[in-house]
Protein backbone atom coordinates (compact mmCIF):
# COMPACT_ATOMS: atom_id res chain seq x y z
CA UNK A 1 0.00 0.00 0.00
CA UNK A 2 1.19 3.50 -0.85
CA UNK A 3 0.16 6.35 1.43
CA UNK A 4 0.57 10.08 0.80
CA UNK A 5 0.45 12.25 3.94
CA UNK A 6 -0.10 15.99 3.49
CA UNK A 7 2.01 18.06 5.88
CA UNK A 8 1.66 21.75 6.59
CA UNK A 9 3.96 24.08 8.52
CA UNK A 10 2.11 26.19 11.11
CA UNK A 11 3.06 28.55 13.93
CA UNK A 12 3.28 26.89 17.35
CA UNK A 13 -0.05 26.84 19.22
CA UNK A 14 1.27 29.41 21.73
CA UNK A 15 2.73 31.77 19.08
CA UNK A 16 1.87 35.44 19.38
CA UNK A 17 -0.41 36.40 16.51
CA UNK A 18 0.58 39.79 15.04
CA UNK A 19 0.74 41.32 11.57
CA UNK A 20 3.12 43.59 9.70
CA UNK A 21 3.27 45.63 6.47
CA UNK A 22 -0.03 47.38 7.08
CA UNK A 23 -1.64 44.19 8.41
CA UNK A 24 -1.11 42.36 5.14
CA UNK A 25 1.44 39.83 6.41
CA UNK A 26 1.74 37.52 9.40
CA UNK A 27 4.61 38.63 11.66
CA UNK A 28 6.95 35.64 11.67
CA UNK A 29 9.56 37.17 13.97
CA UNK A 30 10.22 34.98 16.97
CA UNK A 31 7.64 32.41 15.83
CA UNK A 32 8.39 28.73 16.45
CA UNK A 33 7.20 26.56 13.58
CA UNK A 34 5.67 23.15 14.04
CA UNK A 35 4.05 20.46 11.92
CA UNK A 36 0.34 21.27 11.88
CA UNK A 37 -0.84 19.19 14.89
CA UNK A 38 -3.63 17.39 13.00
CA UNK A 39 -1.20 16.45 10.21
CA UNK A 40 1.38 15.17 12.69
CA UNK A 41 -0.48 13.58 15.59
CA UNK A 42 -3.25 11.97 13.61
CA UNK A 43 -2.53 11.73 9.85
CA UNK A 44 1.19 10.97 9.91
CA UNK A 45 1.23 8.81 13.04
CA UNK A 46 -1.70 6.71 11.81
CA UNK A 47 0.16 6.16 8.51
CA UNK A 48 3.23 5.07 10.51
CA UNK A 49 1.09 2.68 12.59
CA UNK A 50 -0.28 1.15 9.39
CA UNK A 51 3.29 0.67 8.14
CA UNK A 52 4.25 -0.98 11.42
CA UNK A 53 1.45 -3.50 10.86
CA UNK A 54 2.32 -4.01 7.21
CA UNK A 55 6.01 -3.20 6.57
CA UNK A 56 5.51 -3.29 2.80
CA UNK A 57 3.60 -0.01 3.15
CA UNK A 58 5.29 3.00 1.56
CA UNK A 59 4.72 6.44 3.08
CA UNK A 60 5.40 9.63 1.15
CA UNK A 61 5.03 13.07 2.68
CA UNK A 62 4.09 16.13 0.68
CA UNK A 63 4.20 19.79 1.63
CA UNK A 64 3.60 22.96 -0.32
CA UNK A 65 6.01 25.63 0.89
CA UNK A 66 9.30 27.43 0.51
CA UNK A 67 12.71 26.21 1.64
CA UNK A 68 11.84 27.32 5.20
CA UNK A 69 9.40 24.38 5.36
CA UNK A 70 12.29 21.90 5.16
CA UNK A 71 13.03 21.61 8.91
CA UNK A 72 9.36 20.74 9.40
CA UNK A 73 9.36 18.08 6.69
CA UNK A 74 12.62 16.64 8.11
CA UNK A 75 10.96 16.47 11.53
CA UNK A 76 8.05 14.62 9.95
CA UNK A 77 10.51 12.22 8.29
CA UNK A 78 12.12 11.67 11.70
CA UNK A 79 8.79 10.39 12.99
CA UNK A 80 8.48 8.06 10.00
CA UNK A 81 7.82 8.00 6.29
CA UNK A 82 10.07 6.94 3.46
CA UNK A 83 10.51 10.07 1.44
CA UNK A 84 9.22 13.60 1.15
CA UNK A 85 8.20 15.91 -1.63
CA UNK A 86 8.23 19.69 -1.26
CA UNK A 87 6.44 21.72 -3.88
CA UNK A 88 8.24 25.02 -3.99
CA UNK A 89 5.32 27.45 -3.69
CA UNK A 90 4.28 29.90 -1.00
CA UNK A 91 0.68 30.08 -2.11
CA UNK A 92 -1.96 30.44 0.59
CA UNK A 93 -4.84 29.87 -1.81
CA UNK A 94 -6.38 26.53 -0.86
CA UNK A 95 -7.22 25.64 -4.46
CA UNK A 96 -3.65 26.23 -5.63
CA UNK A 97 -2.26 24.12 -2.78
CA UNK A 98 -4.75 21.29 -3.41
CA UNK A 99 -4.03 21.42 -7.13
CA UNK A 100 -0.27 21.07 -6.51
CA UNK A 101 -0.85 18.09 -4.23
CA UNK A 102 -3.25 16.56 -6.77
CA UNK A 103 -0.47 16.57 -9.40
CA UNK A 104 1.82 14.68 -7.01
CA UNK A 105 -1.01 12.32 -6.09
CA UNK A 106 -1.74 11.51 -9.76
CA UNK A 107 1.92 10.87 -10.46
CA UNK A 108 2.40 8.62 -7.42
CA UNK A 109 -0.74 6.48 -7.77
CA UNK A 110 -1.37 6.38 -4.00
CA UNK A 111 -3.89 4.06 -2.40
CA UNK A 112 -4.55 6.43 0.42
CA UNK A 113 -4.18 10.16 1.01
CA UNK A 114 -4.25 11.44 4.61
CA UNK A 115 -4.68 15.06 5.64
CA UNK A 116 -5.22 16.68 9.04
CA UNK A 117 -8.77 17.91 9.61
CA UNK A 118 -7.60 21.53 9.16
CA UNK A 119 -4.53 23.67 9.71
CA UNK A 120 -4.37 25.77 12.85
CA UNK A 121 -3.35 28.92 10.95
CA UNK A 122 -5.91 29.41 8.16
CA UNK A 123 -8.48 26.91 9.54
CA UNK A 124 -9.90 26.42 6.07
CA UNK A 125 -10.35 22.62 6.19
CA UNK A 126 -10.30 22.59 2.38
CA UNK A 127 -7.49 20.38 1.11
CA UNK A 128 -8.96 16.89 1.60
CA UNK A 129 -12.32 17.86 0.14
CA UNK A 130 -10.72 19.67 -2.79
CA UNK A 131 -8.44 16.70 -3.51
CA UNK A 132 -11.49 14.45 -3.63
CA UNK A 133 -13.00 16.61 -6.38
CA UNK A 134 -9.71 17.05 -8.26
CA UNK A 135 -9.02 13.31 -8.21
CA UNK A 136 -12.68 12.23 -8.15
CA UNK A 137 -12.09 9.91 -5.18
CA UNK A 138 -14.16 9.07 -2.10
CA UNK A 139 -13.49 11.40 0.84
CA UNK A 140 -14.22 10.78 4.51
CA UNK A 141 -13.72 13.76 6.81
CA UNK A 142 -13.13 13.98 10.56
CA UNK A 143 -12.03 10.37 10.88
CA UNK A 144 -11.03 9.18 14.34
CA UNK A 145 -10.40 5.51 13.47
CA UNK A 146 -9.02 4.01 10.29
CA UNK A 147 -8.24 0.42 9.37
CA UNK A 148 -7.69 -1.34 6.11
CA UNK A 149 -8.08 -4.96 5.04
CA UNK A 150 -7.02 -5.69 1.48
CA UNK A 151 -8.65 -3.01 -0.59
CA UNK A 152 -11.37 -2.08 1.87
CA UNK A 153 -11.00 0.69 4.44
CA UNK A 154 -13.13 0.87 7.57
CA UNK A 155 -13.41 4.36 8.98
CA UNK A 156 -15.12 5.88 11.97
CA UNK A 157 -16.05 9.50 11.51
CA UNK A 158 -17.74 12.26 13.44
CA UNK A 159 -21.19 13.23 12.20
CA UNK A 160 -23.53 15.96 13.41
CA UNK A 161 -25.25 13.76 15.95
CA UNK A 162 -22.57 11.28 16.94
CA UNK A 163 -20.34 8.79 15.16
CA UNK A 164 -20.68 6.72 12.04
CA UNK A 165 -18.69 3.74 10.77
CA UNK A 166 -18.31 3.45 7.03
CA UNK A 167 -16.48 1.41 4.42
CA UNK A 168 -14.86 2.54 1.22
CA UNK A 169 -12.76 0.97 -1.48
CA UNK A 170 -9.25 2.33 -1.97
CA UNK A 171 -8.01 4.66 -3.34
CA UNK A 172 -9.53 7.29 -1.11
CA UNK A 173 -8.87 10.45 0.89
CA UNK A 174 -9.29 10.77 4.66
CA UNK A 175 -9.06 13.83 6.92
CA UNK A 176 -7.87 12.88 10.38
CA UNK A 177 -8.65 14.16 13.86
CA UNK A 178 -8.20 13.27 17.51
CA UNK A 179 -8.56 9.56 18.23
CA UNK A 180 -6.82 8.34 15.03
CA UNK A 181 -3.46 7.69 16.68
CA UNK A 182 -1.43 8.23 19.81
CA UNK A 183 0.89 11.22 19.72
CA UNK A 184 4.60 10.28 19.63
CA UNK A 185 7.92 12.07 19.57
CA UNK A 186 10.78 11.34 17.19
CA UNK A 187 13.62 9.23 18.63
CA UNK A 188 17.33 9.68 17.93
CA UNK A 189 17.39 6.85 15.40
CA UNK A 190 14.55 8.44 13.51
CA UNK A 191 16.21 11.86 13.56
CA UNK A 192 19.47 10.41 12.22
CA UNK A 193 17.64 8.39 9.55
CA UNK A 194 15.63 11.43 8.45
CA UNK A 195 18.82 13.26 7.42
CA UNK A 196 19.44 10.88 4.57
CA UNK A 197 15.87 10.21 3.50
CA UNK A 198 15.11 11.61 0.03
CA UNK A 199 13.48 15.06 -0.09
CA UNK A 200 12.45 15.94 -3.61
CA UNK A 201 11.77 19.55 -4.53
CA UNK A 202 9.30 20.13 -7.34
CA UNK A 203 8.54 23.29 -9.30
CA UNK A 204 4.88 24.23 -8.88
CA UNK A 205 2.48 23.53 -11.72
CA UNK A 206 0.97 26.69 -13.14
CA UNK A 207 -2.40 27.35 -11.58
CA UNK A 208 -4.37 30.52 -11.11
CA UNK A 209 -5.23 31.46 -7.53
CA UNK A 210 -8.95 31.67 -6.87
CA UNK A 211 -8.60 33.81 -3.73
CA UNK A 212 -6.16 36.30 -2.24
CA UNK A 213 -5.71 37.62 1.29
CA UNK A 214 -6.31 41.38 1.41
CA UNK A 215 -5.80 42.23 5.05
CA UNK A 216 -5.63 40.74 8.55
CA UNK A 217 -7.25 42.12 11.70
CA UNK A 218 -7.04 41.30 15.37
CA UNK A 219 -10.26 41.03 17.37
CA UNK A 220 -11.06 44.01 19.59
CA UNK A 221 -9.65 43.46 23.07
CA UNK A 222 -12.20 42.76 25.77
CA UNK A 223 -13.01 45.84 27.81
CA UNK A 224 -12.04 44.03 30.97
CA UNK A 225 -13.63 41.45 33.18
CA UNK A 226 -16.39 42.48 35.56
CA UNK A 227 -15.78 40.70 38.86
CA UNK A 228 -18.84 39.50 40.75
CA UNK A 229 -19.04 38.86 44.49
CA UNK A 230 -19.08 35.05 44.97
CA UNK A 231 -21.82 35.54 47.56
CA UNK A 232 -24.06 37.35 45.09
CA UNK A 233 -24.93 34.99 42.25
CA UNK A 234 -28.28 36.77 41.82
CA UNK A 235 -26.25 39.71 40.53
CA UNK A 236 -24.46 37.51 37.96
CA UNK A 237 -27.79 36.11 36.78
CA UNK A 238 -29.19 39.65 36.53
CA UNK A 239 -26.19 40.80 34.43
CA UNK A 240 -26.45 37.79 32.15
CA UNK A 241 -30.13 38.48 31.65
CA UNK A 242 -30.24 42.27 31.49
CA UNK A 243 -26.78 43.39 30.37
CA UNK A 244 -25.41 40.54 28.26
CA UNK A 245 -28.95 39.38 27.32
CA UNK A 246 -27.80 35.79 26.84
CA UNK A 247 -30.16 33.91 29.15
CA UNK B 1 -28.82 34.01 -7.84
CA UNK B 2 -27.63 32.99 -4.38
CA UNK B 3 -28.05 29.27 -3.78
CA UNK B 4 -27.97 28.04 -0.18
CA UNK B 5 -27.35 24.39 0.56
CA UNK B 6 -29.68 23.18 3.30
CA UNK B 7 -28.03 20.52 5.38
CA UNK B 8 -29.80 17.83 7.34
CA UNK B 9 -29.08 15.18 9.93
CA UNK B 10 -31.56 12.43 10.75
CA UNK B 11 -33.94 13.94 8.20
CA UNK B 12 -34.11 17.17 10.15
CA UNK B 13 -32.86 20.49 8.85
CA UNK B 14 -29.84 21.72 10.79
CA UNK B 15 -30.15 25.03 12.62
CA UNK B 16 -26.84 26.07 11.05
CA UNK B 17 -28.50 25.84 7.63
CA UNK B 18 -31.24 28.26 8.63
CA UNK B 19 -28.50 30.69 9.60
CA UNK B 20 -26.72 30.04 6.27
CA UNK B 21 -30.03 30.72 4.49
CA UNK B 22 -30.53 34.00 6.38
CA UNK B 23 -26.96 34.92 5.45
CA UNK B 24 -27.51 33.95 1.80
CA UNK B 25 -30.68 36.05 1.67
CA UNK B 26 -28.73 39.04 3.01
CA UNK B 27 -26.10 38.57 0.28
CA UNK B 28 -28.85 38.30 -2.35
CA UNK B 29 -30.36 41.56 -1.10
CA UNK B 30 -26.94 43.19 -1.39
CA UNK B 31 -26.48 41.89 -4.93
CA UNK B 32 -30.10 42.53 -5.94
CA UNK B 33 -30.80 38.93 -6.89
CA UNK B 34 -32.94 35.99 -5.77
CA UNK B 35 -32.30 33.56 -2.89
CA UNK B 36 -32.93 29.89 -3.57
CA UNK B 37 -32.33 26.84 -1.42
CA UNK B 38 -31.21 23.35 -2.35
CA UNK B 39 -31.86 20.33 -0.19
CA UNK B 40 -30.71 16.78 -0.80
CA UNK B 41 -32.57 13.77 0.57
CA UNK B 42 -35.87 13.57 2.39
CA UNK B 43 -36.71 15.62 5.48
CA UNK B 44 -39.66 15.75 7.82
CA UNK B 45 -40.10 19.52 7.68
CA UNK B 46 -42.41 21.42 5.35
CA UNK B 47 -39.92 22.91 2.91
CA UNK B 48 -42.18 25.87 2.06
CA UNK B 49 -41.33 27.17 5.54
CA UNK B 50 -37.78 27.83 4.40
CA UNK B 51 -39.32 31.02 3.04
CA UNK B 52 -39.34 32.25 6.62
CA UNK B 53 -35.55 32.34 6.49
CA UNK B 54 -35.32 34.09 3.13
CA UNK B 55 -35.71 31.47 0.39
CA UNK B 56 -37.98 32.34 -2.53
CA UNK B 57 -37.66 28.91 -4.05
CA UNK B 58 -36.58 25.52 -2.68
CA UNK B 59 -35.14 22.85 -4.96
CA UNK B 60 -35.31 19.35 -3.58
CA UNK B 61 -33.29 16.37 -4.75
CA UNK B 62 -35.69 13.88 -3.28
CA UNK B 63 -33.74 10.67 -2.82
CA UNK B 64 -33.25 8.75 0.40
CA UNK B 65 -29.75 7.73 -0.67
CA UNK B 66 -28.71 11.34 -0.02
CA UNK B 67 -29.73 11.36 3.65
CA UNK B 68 -26.24 10.54 4.88
CA UNK B 69 -23.05 12.29 3.92
CA UNK B 70 -21.16 11.02 0.87
CA UNK B 71 -18.88 13.87 -0.20
CA UNK B 72 -18.31 12.56 -3.71
CA UNK B 73 -22.02 12.13 -4.42
CA UNK B 74 -23.14 15.30 -2.63
CA UNK B 75 -20.50 17.56 -4.16
CA UNK B 76 -21.20 16.22 -7.66
CA UNK B 77 -24.95 16.84 -7.49
CA UNK B 78 -24.72 20.19 -5.70
CA UNK B 79 -22.25 21.46 -8.31
CA UNK B 80 -24.50 20.16 -11.12
CA UNK B 81 -27.54 21.84 -9.54
CA UNK B 82 -25.67 25.12 -9.03
CA UNK B 83 -24.64 25.07 -12.71
CA UNK B 84 -28.08 24.27 -14.06
CA UNK B 85 -29.70 26.92 -11.84
CA UNK B 86 -27.05 29.52 -12.76
CA UNK B 87 -26.05 30.26 -9.18
CA UNK B 88 -23.37 32.93 -8.81
CA UNK B 89 -22.93 32.52 -5.05
CA UNK B 90 -23.28 29.17 -3.25
CA UNK B 91 -23.58 29.27 0.55
CA UNK B 92 -22.99 26.47 3.06
CA UNK B 93 -23.00 26.29 6.85
CA UNK B 94 -19.44 25.75 8.11
CA UNK B 95 -20.54 22.71 10.11
CA UNK B 96 -19.43 19.08 9.81
CA UNK B 97 -21.23 18.46 6.52
CA UNK B 98 -20.55 21.89 5.05
CA UNK B 99 -16.83 21.64 5.83
CA UNK B 100 -16.68 18.29 4.07
CA UNK B 101 -18.69 19.21 0.96
CA UNK B 102 -18.19 22.92 0.20
CA UNK B 103 -14.52 22.83 -0.93
CA UNK B 104 -15.24 19.95 -3.32
CA UNK B 105 -18.21 21.86 -4.75
CA UNK B 106 -15.97 24.91 -5.23
CA UNK B 107 -13.47 22.81 -7.22
CA UNK B 108 -16.23 21.27 -9.33
CA UNK B 109 -17.56 24.79 -10.10
CA UNK B 110 -14.13 26.33 -10.67
CA UNK B 111 -15.09 28.74 -7.90
CA UNK B 112 -13.02 30.42 -5.21
CA UNK B 113 -14.10 29.61 -1.67
CA UNK B 114 -13.97 31.18 1.78
CA UNK B 115 -14.70 28.83 4.65
CA UNK B 116 -15.27 29.98 8.22
CA UNK B 117 -16.73 33.27 6.98
CA UNK B 118 -17.96 35.66 9.67
CA UNK B 119 -19.19 38.71 7.74
CA UNK B 120 -21.30 39.69 4.78
CA UNK B 121 -19.23 40.21 1.64
CA UNK B 122 -17.93 43.64 0.81
CA UNK B 123 -18.74 44.13 -2.87
CA UNK B 124 -17.41 47.67 -3.32
CA UNK B 125 -14.08 46.51 -4.68
CA UNK B 126 -14.64 43.04 -6.04
CA UNK B 127 -15.98 40.43 -3.62
CA UNK B 128 -14.30 40.28 -0.22
CA UNK B 129 -15.31 38.10 2.72
CA UNK B 130 -13.86 38.15 6.23
CA UNK B 131 -13.12 34.85 7.94
CA UNK B 132 -11.64 33.76 11.25
CA UNK B 133 -8.01 32.56 11.14
CA UNK B 134 -5.43 31.40 13.68
CA UNK B 135 -8.15 29.48 15.53
CA UNK B 136 -10.20 32.59 16.19
CA UNK B 137 -7.24 34.72 17.28
CA UNK B 138 -7.46 36.89 14.14
CA UNK B 139 -9.50 37.69 11.04
CA UNK B 140 -8.47 37.68 7.39
CA UNK B 141 -10.33 39.43 4.61
CA UNK B 142 -10.18 37.31 1.47
CA UNK B 143 -10.95 38.43 -2.05
CA UNK B 144 -12.62 35.79 -4.21
CA UNK B 145 -11.34 36.24 -7.74
CA UNK B 146 -13.64 33.88 -9.66
CA UNK B 147 -17.05 34.58 -11.27
CA UNK B 148 -18.76 32.00 -9.02
CA UNK B 149 -18.20 32.29 -5.27
CA UNK B 150 -18.60 29.66 -2.55
CA UNK B 151 -18.89 30.70 1.10
CA UNK B 152 -19.18 28.54 4.22
CA UNK B 153 -20.45 30.67 7.11
CA UNK B 154 -19.30 30.09 10.70
CA UNK B 155 -22.02 28.87 13.00
CA UNK B 156 -23.53 31.46 15.35
CA UNK B 157 -21.83 34.35 13.58
CA UNK B 158 -24.69 35.86 11.58
CA UNK B 159 -27.83 34.74 13.38
CA UNK B 160 -31.16 33.53 12.07
CA UNK B 161 -33.34 36.23 10.53
CA UNK B 162 -37.05 35.98 9.93
CA UNK B 163 -38.61 36.78 6.57
CA UNK B 164 -42.33 36.57 6.39
CA UNK B 165 -42.83 34.63 3.19
CA UNK B 166 -43.51 31.16 1.88
CA UNK B 167 -41.18 29.51 -0.59
CA UNK B 168 -42.24 27.54 -3.62
CA UNK B 169 -40.91 23.99 -3.59
CA UNK B 170 -39.79 22.19 -6.72
CA UNK B 171 -38.21 18.82 -7.28
CA UNK B 172 -35.01 18.94 -9.26
CA UNK B 173 -33.82 15.99 -11.30
CA UNK B 174 -30.11 15.38 -11.39
CA UNK B 175 -28.61 11.93 -11.89
CA UNK B 176 -27.23 10.69 -8.59
CA UNK B 177 -23.78 9.12 -8.80
CA UNK B 178 -23.17 5.69 -7.27
CA UNK B 179 -22.40 5.79 -3.53
CA UNK B 180 -18.65 6.06 -2.87
CA UNK B 181 -18.91 4.91 0.75
CA UNK B 182 -21.11 2.45 2.60
CA UNK B 183 -22.40 3.33 6.08
CA UNK B 184 -22.25 0.25 8.30
CA UNK B 185 -23.03 1.62 11.76
CA UNK B 186 -24.41 4.80 13.32
CA UNK B 187 -23.92 5.66 16.99
CA UNK B 188 -26.01 8.62 18.03
CA UNK B 189 -25.46 10.64 21.14
CA UNK B 190 -29.04 10.68 22.34
CA UNK B 191 -30.79 13.46 24.16
CA UNK B 192 -27.92 15.89 24.27
CA UNK B 193 -27.69 19.27 22.62
CA UNK B 194 -24.88 19.09 20.02
CA UNK B 195 -22.12 21.36 21.31
CA UNK B 196 -21.64 23.25 18.08
CA UNK B 197 -25.33 24.15 17.98
CA UNK B 198 -25.76 25.05 21.65
CA UNK B 199 -26.49 28.65 22.59
CA UNK B 200 -25.39 28.07 26.16
CA UNK B 201 -22.42 25.94 27.22
CA UNK B 202 -21.16 25.03 30.69
CA UNK B 203 -17.61 23.71 30.71
CA UNK B 204 -15.38 22.19 33.37
CA UNK B 205 -11.62 21.86 33.84
CA UNK B 206 -9.11 20.24 36.13
CA UNK B 207 -10.21 22.57 38.93
CA UNK B 208 -13.17 20.24 39.49
CA UNK B 209 -10.63 17.64 40.67
CA UNK B 210 -12.34 14.49 39.38
CA UNK B 211 -15.25 13.05 37.36
CA UNK B 212 -17.20 12.35 40.56
CA UNK B 213 -17.55 16.11 41.05
CA UNK B 214 -19.30 16.80 37.74
CA UNK B 215 -22.75 16.73 39.37
CA UNK B 216 -22.70 20.45 40.24
CA UNK B 217 -21.80 21.30 36.64
CA UNK B 218 -24.52 19.05 35.23
CA UNK B 219 -27.06 20.63 37.59
CA UNK B 220 -26.10 24.09 36.38
CA UNK B 221 -26.29 22.97 32.72
CA UNK B 222 -29.73 21.47 33.37
CA UNK B 223 -31.01 24.62 35.06
CA UNK B 224 -29.84 26.69 32.09
CA UNK B 225 -30.74 24.19 29.36
CA UNK B 226 -27.07 24.29 28.36
CA UNK B 227 -24.77 21.78 26.67
CA UNK B 228 -21.72 20.56 28.58
CA UNK B 229 -18.07 20.75 27.53
CA UNK B 230 -14.65 20.29 29.06
CA UNK B 231 -10.99 21.20 28.71
CA UNK B 232 -8.36 18.96 27.14
CA UNK B 233 -6.80 17.60 30.37
CA UNK B 234 -10.27 16.50 31.45
CA UNK B 235 -10.98 14.53 28.27
CA UNK B 236 -7.40 13.21 28.18
CA UNK B 237 -7.91 11.84 31.70
CA UNK B 238 -11.21 10.29 30.56
CA UNK B 239 -13.16 12.22 33.17
CA UNK B 240 -15.48 13.24 30.36
CA UNK B 241 -16.05 11.88 26.81
CA UNK B 242 -13.75 13.15 24.05
CA UNK B 243 -16.59 14.72 22.13
CA UNK B 244 -16.94 17.28 24.93
CA UNK B 245 -13.38 18.57 24.49
CA UNK B 246 -13.38 22.18 23.29
CA UNK B 247 -10.17 23.95 22.33
CA UNK B 248 -7.68 24.25 19.54
CA UNK B 249 -7.40 20.49 19.02
CA UNK B 250 -10.95 19.71 20.10
CA UNK B 251 -14.01 21.41 18.73
CA UNK B 252 -14.39 25.12 18.28
CA UNK B 253 -17.61 26.65 19.48
CA UNK B 254 -19.23 30.07 19.46
CA UNK B 255 -22.20 30.00 21.86
CA UNK B 256 -23.94 33.08 23.24
CA UNK B 257 -22.79 32.13 26.73
CA UNK B 258 -19.77 30.07 27.79
CA UNK B 259 -19.34 29.39 31.49
CA UNK B 260 -15.87 28.04 32.34
CA UNK B 261 -15.54 26.35 35.72
CA UNK B 262 -12.09 25.51 37.05
CA UNK B 263 -10.42 26.10 33.67
CA UNK B 264 -7.26 28.21 33.78
CA UNK B 265 -7.64 29.38 30.18
CA UNK B 266 -4.55 28.14 28.34
CA UNK B 267 -4.19 29.76 24.93
CA UNK B 268 -5.11 26.47 23.24
CA UNK B 269 -8.38 26.32 25.19
CA UNK B 270 -9.20 29.95 24.40
CA UNK B 271 -8.72 29.21 20.70
CA UNK B 272 -11.73 26.93 20.87
CA UNK B 273 -14.06 29.29 22.70
CA UNK B 274 -12.96 32.86 22.00
CA UNK B 275 -15.78 33.42 19.53
CA UNK B 276 -18.32 33.00 22.35
CA UNK B 277 -20.41 36.18 22.77
CA UNK B 278 -20.24 36.23 26.58
CA UNK B 279 -17.72 34.40 28.74
CA UNK B 280 -18.12 33.78 32.47
CA UNK B 281 -15.10 32.43 34.35
CA UNK B 282 -15.31 30.81 37.77
CA UNK B 283 -11.88 30.07 39.21
CA UNK B 284 -10.28 30.17 42.63
CA UNK B 285 -7.03 31.57 41.20
CA UNK B 286 -7.43 35.32 40.57
CA UNK B 287 -4.34 35.13 38.31
CA UNK B 288 -5.90 32.54 35.95
CA UNK B 289 -5.30 33.81 32.39
CA UNK B 290 -8.93 33.08 31.50
CA UNK B 291 -10.08 36.18 33.45
CA UNK B 292 -8.38 38.35 30.78
CA UNK B 293 -10.67 36.86 28.13
CA UNK B 294 -13.80 36.90 30.31
CA UNK B 295 -16.72 39.30 30.46
CA UNK B 296 -17.72 38.27 33.97
CA UNK B 297 -15.53 36.63 36.56
CA UNK B 298 -16.12 35.05 39.94
CA UNK B 299 -13.05 34.37 42.07
CA UNK B 300 -13.62 31.60 44.55
CA UNK B 301 -14.30 27.96 45.22
CA UNK B 302 -16.33 26.41 42.39
CA UNK B 303 -17.82 23.84 44.77
CA UNK B 304 -19.51 26.68 46.67
CA UNK B 305 -20.18 29.08 43.81
CA UNK B 306 -21.68 26.75 41.18
CA UNK B 307 -24.57 25.45 43.34
CA UNK B 308 -25.35 29.06 44.31
CA UNK B 309 -25.39 30.07 40.65
CA UNK B 310 -27.69 27.13 39.84
CA UNK B 311 -30.04 28.19 42.64
CA UNK B 312 -30.02 31.81 41.41
CA UNK B 313 -30.87 30.69 37.89
CA UNK B 314 -33.72 28.45 39.07
CA UNK B 315 -35.02 31.35 41.17
CA UNK B 316 -34.88 33.70 38.16
CA UNK B 317 -36.66 31.13 35.97
CA UNK B 318 -39.40 30.53 38.54
CA UNK B 319 -40.15 34.25 38.83
CA UNK B 320 -39.80 35.05 35.13
Residues in chain A with CB shorter than 8 Å from the CB of B75 are 129, 132-133
List of domains in chain A: 2-219 (3.40.50.620)
Facing residue for B128 by CB, picked from A179, A209, A214 = A214
B128 contacts chain A (CB < 8 A) = yes
Closest CB from A14, A213, A225 relative to B142: A213
A90, A184, A195, B97 from A74: Cα distances, Å: 18, 15, 7, 34
- Whether the bond between A171 and the residue before it is cis, its omega within 30 degrees of 0, is yes
- Section A109-126 average pLDDT: 96
What is the domain partition of chain B in residue ranges? 2-171, 195-319
Tens digits of per-residue pLDDT, A27-73? Answer: 999 999 999 999 999 999 999 999 999 999 999 999 999 999 999 99
Mutation site for B-interface testing, chosen from A31, A98, A211, A220 by largest number of B Cβ within 10 Å: A211
Percent of all residues in chain A with a pLDDT value above 90, rounded to a whole number: 91
Question: Do B2-171 and B195-319 have matching folds?
Answer: yes
Q: How far is CA A129 from CA A6, A142, A177, A211, B74, in A?
A: 13, 11, 15, 17, 11
- Whether A14 and chain B come into contact, CB under 8 Å, resolves to yes
pLDDT at position B4 over 70: yes
Q: Which CATH architecture has domain B195-319?
A: 3-Layer(aba) Sandwich (3.40)
Residue A224 has pLDDT above 80, yes or no: yes
C-alpha to C-alpha distance for A10 and B120, rounded to whole angstroms: 28
Q: pLDDT band at residue B213, thresholds of 50, 70 and 90?
A: very high
Instruction: Specify the pairing of strand B2-6 against strand B35-40.
Output: parallel
Edge-to-edge order in the sheet of strand B257-261 = A226-227, B296-299, B278-283, B257-261, B200-204, B227-230
Alpha carbon distance A163, B185 (integer Å): 8
Backbone angles phi, psi at B238, to 5 degrees: 60, 25
Task: Report the gap between the CA of A122 and the closest CA in chain B (Å).
Answer: 5
**Which residues of chain A lie closer than 8 angstroms to B295, CB-CB?**
222, 225-226, 244
- Looking at residue B196, its pLDDT comes to 86
Strands B8-9 and B12-13: antiparallel
Give the fold, CATH level 3, of B2-171. Rossmann fold (3.40.50)
Structure confidence by residue, pLDDT tens digits, B259-279: 999 999 999 999 999 999 999
Segment A140-154 shows an average pLDDT of 97
Predicted pLDDT of residue B191:
64
Instruction: Find, in chain A, the residue whose alpha carbon is nearest to that of B196.
Output: A160
B132 to chain A: which residues are within 8 Å by CB? 123
**Each residue of A192-226: b (16+ CB within 10 Å) or e?**
eebeebebeebebeebebbbbbbbbeeeeeeeebe
Of residues A94, A230, A247, nearest to B298 (C-beta): A230
Pick the residue of A233, A238, A239 with the most B CBs within 10 A to test the interface with B by mutation.
A233
Instruction: Give the long-range contacts of residues A10-13, CB within 8 A, separation 24 or more.
Output: A10/A34, A10/A35, A10/A36, A10/A37, A10/A119, A10/A120, A10/A121, A11/A120, A11/A121, A11/B134, A13/A37, A13/A120, A13/B248, A13/B267, A13/B268, A13/B271
| Contact: A219, B295; criterion CB under 8 Å | no
Amino acid sequence: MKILVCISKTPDTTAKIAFIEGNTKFDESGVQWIINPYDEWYALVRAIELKEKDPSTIIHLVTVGGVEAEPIIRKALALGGDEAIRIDSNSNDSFTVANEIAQVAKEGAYDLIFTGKETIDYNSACIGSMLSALLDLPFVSLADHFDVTGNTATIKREIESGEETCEATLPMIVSCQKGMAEQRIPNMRGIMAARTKPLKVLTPAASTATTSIQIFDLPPTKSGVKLIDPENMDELVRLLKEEAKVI
Amino acid sequence: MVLVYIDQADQQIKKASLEALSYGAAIAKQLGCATEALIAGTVKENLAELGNYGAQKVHQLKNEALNSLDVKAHSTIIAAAAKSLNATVVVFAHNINGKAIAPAVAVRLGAGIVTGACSLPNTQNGFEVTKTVFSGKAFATIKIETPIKVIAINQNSFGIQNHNQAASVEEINIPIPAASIKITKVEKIEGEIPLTEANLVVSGGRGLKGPENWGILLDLAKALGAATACSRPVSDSDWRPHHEHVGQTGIQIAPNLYIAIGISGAIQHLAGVNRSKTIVVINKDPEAPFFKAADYGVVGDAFEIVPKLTAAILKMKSTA
